[in-house]
């Protein structure tokens, strides 16, 4: 199944673009599911049909789904209380009833990730269109599976689960209770679920489609989103320039905004595949309005960003790891080597990535940022590197 992630700043029209993209694909005969995390039914308003916590057919070949974060959170908490019943009883804890539970911050994001995973595993659709939250929330959401898996593996390493028979003995020796079996089982289940989401995001059939209005604020949002996505190993296939004013308006009181958007569009065309959507003079509502928007087709897809390791041992005695970071500024870059991991910070974005196996036996010699690519040089550690004959 192919997946298109729609991302853009708040108010850019990303929900409208997601709805129009899904409707266009459905009309071409592609079985399509459009997914949204909005609490209010903005997706339904754009489609002209109500959407809710259960998938609903809104047009031929088109299903819309807006999962309920509150219900999902209540189900998870109820399941947790059942699994931890013995511990809670030992502590004298009072159980929470489902009716008194409200979702905590972040519940919407986790619910959307779970829905994305379920939709991908179901294989009942050929295309999944995801209306992500505003840019900053979306970038945090896309990083969540990898970060949570890393935390789980540090807190509850899977290899420690093997010592089941020794756990009571170790508990007595250490003077503290050891984690129980269900805790490891829960961590393993979460790791599996998060891994499934990561697989969807890393799939070559998954692309990110940026939506922004061509203006100063839109230009800043696109620059930040491009850098944040590149650090996650994701790349946009198309930049949708939404609500473009007609050039005929340049002679009137809109001359300033038209000139401004023309400048931004020219800058974008140097780095992106642009698809302009002209302003309708109103917010698109219903299938007829969506049909006149020339949204990009489903087949305009590229692969994820590659981070290749180049062998320069013969020429320079180093291996070079190339990390594409378009728009990065040298003064905003920070690199820290921690064991077999590299902490990469670029402005407001940060990612901890595992080193490729060949680089784990190397030391960092230096790094340079040129033409939007961070090139990190690694020299073989002679104590770990096999002798070359």
Is residue 209's pLDDT more than 60?
yes
Handedness of CA 115, 44, 125, 127 (dihedral sign): negative
Handedness of CA 183, 187, 192, 197 (dihedral sign): positive
Tokens 């902490």 sit at which residue?
A: 343
Q: Are 280 and 242 in contact (CB under 8 A)?
A: no
259 and 329 share one domain? no
Contacts of 170 (CB under 8 A, 6+ apart): 163, 178
282 and 331 share one domain? no
The residue with greater pLDDT, 184 or 18, is 18
The residue with greater pLDDT, 213 or 190, is 213
Check residue 345 and give its pLDDT: 94
Coil/strand/helix, residue 35 = strand
Give the pLDDT band of residue 170 (cuts 50, 70, 90).
very low
Domain count of the fold of the chain = 2
Residue 279 lies inside a defined structural domain of this protein: yes
Average pLDDT over residues 30-50: 92
Is residue 238's pLDDT more than 80?
yes
64 and 120 share one domain? yes
Residue 326 maps to which CATH number? 2.60.40.790
Coil/strand/helix, residue 329 = coil
Is residue 120's pLDDT more than 90?
no
Is residue 169's pLDDT more than 90?
no
228 and 376 share one domain? no
Average pLDDT over residues 121-127: 87
277 and 319 share one domain? no
Check residue 244 and give its pLDDT: 92
Residue after which a domain boundary falls, among 234, 265, 291: 291
Check residue 42 and give its pLDDT: 93
Is residue 286's pLDDT more than 80?
yes
333 and 364 share one domain? yes
Check residue 110 and give its pLDDT: 78
Distance CA 50, CA 45 (A): 7
Residue 90 lies inside a defined structural domain of this protein: no
Residue 252 lies inside a defined structural domain of this protein: yes
61 and 108 share one domain? yes
58 and 196 share one domain? yes
Residue after which a domain boundary falls, among 291, 317, 341: 291
Q: Of the given ranges (20-29, 59-68, 169-178), which has the lowest mean pLDDT? A: 169-178
Residue after which a domain boundary falls, among 236, 263, 291: 291
Q: What one-character-per-residue DSSP string does 186-208 give?
A: HHHHHHHHHHHHHHHHHSTTEEE
Residue 150 lies inside a defined structural domain of this protein: yes
**What proportion of the chain, given as a percentage, has pLDDT over 70?**
80
Give the pLDDT band of residue 257 (cuts 50, 70, 90).
confident
Check residue 174 and give its pLDDT: 47
Residue 95 lies inside a defined structural domain of this protein: no
Is residue 77's pLDDT more than 80?
no
Could you tell me which of 130, 326, 323 has the C-alpha nearest to residue 224? 326
Check residue 381 and give its pLDDT: 87
Residue 97 lies inside a defined structural domain of this protein: no
Is residue 173's pLDDT more than 50?
no
Q: Of the given ranges (13-22, 216-225, 246-255), which has the lowest mean pLDDT? A: 246-255
264 and 316 share one domain? no
Average pLDDT over residues 143-157: 83
CB atoms within 10 A of CB 228: 25
164 and 53 share one domain? yes
Average pLDDT over residues 113-123: 84
Average pLDDT over residues 197-203: 88
Check residue 202 and give its pLDDT: 86
The pTM is what? 0.84
Most confident of 1-15, 234-248, 293-307: 1-15
Check residue 251 and give its pLDDT: 73
Distance CA 210, CA 237 (A): 8
160 and 19 share one domain? yes
Handedness of CA 217, 218, 223, 226 (dihedral sign): positive
Give the pLDDT band of residue 278 (cuts 50, 70, 90).
very high
CA 190, 306, 309, 324: dihedral to nearest 10 degrees? -110
CA 109, 115, 119, 120: dihedral to nearest 10 degrees? 50
Residue 302 lies inside a defined structural domain of this protein: no
139 and 112 share one domain? yes
Distance CA 128, CA 207 (A): 11
Q: Of the given ranges (175-189, 273-287, 294-308, 353-367), which has the lowest mean pLDDT? A: 175-189
Contacts of 63 (CB under 8 A, 6+ apart): 32, 33, 34, 55, 56, 57, 125
Distance CA 368, CA 376 (A): 7
The residue with greater pLDDT, 166 or 37, is 37
Distance CA 142, CA 357 (A): 25
Q: Which domain holds residue 348?
A: 309-380
Residue 49 maps to which CATH number? 3.40.50.300
Q: What one-character-per-residue DSSP string does 203-235 give?
A: STTEEEEEEE-SSHHHHHHHHHHHHHHHHTT--
Residue 87 lies inside a defined structural domain of this protein: no
């Amino acid at each position: 199944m192919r997946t298109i992630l729609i991302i853009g700043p708040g108010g850019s029209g990303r929900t409208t673009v997601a709805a129009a993209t899904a409707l266009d694909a459905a009309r071409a005969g592609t079985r399509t599911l459009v997914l949204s995390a909005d609490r209010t039914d903005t997706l339904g308003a754009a489609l002209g049909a109500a959407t809710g916590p259960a998938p609903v057919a809104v047009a031929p070949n088109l299903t819309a789904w807006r999962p309920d974060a509150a219900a999902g959170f209540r189900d998870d908490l109820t399941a947790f209380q059942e699994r931890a019943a013995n511990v809670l009883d030992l502590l004298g804890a009072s159980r929470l009833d489902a009716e008194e539970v409200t979702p905590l911050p972040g519940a919407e994001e986790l619910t959307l990730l779970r829905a994305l995973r379920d939709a991908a595993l179901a294989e009942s659709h050929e295309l999944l269109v995801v209306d992500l939250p505003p840019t900053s929330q979306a970038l945090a959401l896309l990083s969540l599976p990898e970060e949570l898996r890393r935390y789980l593996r540090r807190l509850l390493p899977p290899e420690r689960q093997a010592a089941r028979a020794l756990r009571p003995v170790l508990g007595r020796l250490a003077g503290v209770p050891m984690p129980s079996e269900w805790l490891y089982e829960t961590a393993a289940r979460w790791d599996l679920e998060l891994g499934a989401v990561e697989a969807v995001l890393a799939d070559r059939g998954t692309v990110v489609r940026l939506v922004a209005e061509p203006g100063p604020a839109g230009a800043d949002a696109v620059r930040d989103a491009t850098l944040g996505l590149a650090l996650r190993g994701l790349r946009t296939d198309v930049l949708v320039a939404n609500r473009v004013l007609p050039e005929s308006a340049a002679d009137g009181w809109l001359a300033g905004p038209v000139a401004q958007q023309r400048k931004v569009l020219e800058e974008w065309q140097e780095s992106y595949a642009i698809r302009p959507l002209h302003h309708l003079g109103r917010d698109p509502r219903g299938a007829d309005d969506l049909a006149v928007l020339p949204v990009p087709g489903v087949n305009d897809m590229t692969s994820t960003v590659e981070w290749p390791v180049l062998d320069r041992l013969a020429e320079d005695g180093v291996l070079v790891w190339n990390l594409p970071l378009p728009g990065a500024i040298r003064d905003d870059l920070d690199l820290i080597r921690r064991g077999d991991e590299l902490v990469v910070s670029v402005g407001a974005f940060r990612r901890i990535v595992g080193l490729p196996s060949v680089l784990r036996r190397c030391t960092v010699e230096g790094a340079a940022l040129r033409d939007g690519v961070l090139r990190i040089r690694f020299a073989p550690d002679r104590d770990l590197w096999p002798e070359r004959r």
